[in-house]
């Protein structure tokens, strides 16, 4: 079972790129670069070991570029700082989901009462069918 990396350390390897967004903001949209793009180079990460890199590449493959860079974009808010917080939050959630290992299901034994009820119901049903056949004769 792979151990989760330290998210604080991972955030240090992240790079940000800003640009003008097309969202709300009125005249602000044309002047201020509020759109934030987070880039995380998985292949060149010094914090993730090879096993962790493999897991991230497999589980987040639809979000990773051909160069092995994870990209997350936010442009919902009117300020760059708020969009940066959103991007970092999404990054943490994605990494947690990538390293999440579901618990193994323990198969449980079918209780005796359930088996007996099923047999009683089967017997009752067969009796009904027998009664129907006798009436038609």
pLDDT in tens, 62-97: 888 888 899 999 988 888 899 999 999 999 999 888
Residue spans per domain, the chain:
7-99
pLDDT in tens, 23-35: 566 666 677 788 8
3-state secondary structure the chain: CCCCCCHHHHHHCCEEEEECCCCCCCCHHHHCCCEEEEEEECCCCCCCCHHHHHHHHHHCHHHECCCCEEEEEECCCCCHHHHHHHHHHHHHHHHHHHHCCCCCCCCCCCCHHHHHHHHHHHHHHHHHHHHHHHHHC
Domain 7-99 has CATH 3.40.120.10: no
Per cent of the chain over pLDDT 70 is: 89
């Amino acid at each position: 079972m792979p151990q989760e990396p330290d998210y604080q350390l991972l955030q240090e390897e992240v790079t940000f790129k800003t640009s003008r967004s097309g969202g709300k903001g009125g005249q602000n949209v044309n002047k201020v670069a509020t759109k934030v793009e987070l880039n995380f180079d998985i292949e060149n990460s010094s914090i993730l070991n090879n096993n962790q890199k493999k897991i991230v590449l497999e589980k987040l493959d639809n979000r990773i570029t051909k160069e092995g860079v994870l990209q997350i974009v936010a442009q919902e808010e009117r300020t760059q700082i708020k969009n940066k917080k959103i991007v970092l939050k999404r990054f943490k959630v994605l990494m947690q989901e990538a390293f999440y290992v579901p618990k193994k299901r323990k198969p449980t034994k079918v209780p005796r009462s359930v088996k007996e009820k099923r047999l009683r119901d089967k017997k009752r049903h067969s009796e009904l069918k027998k009664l129907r056949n006798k009436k038609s004769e």
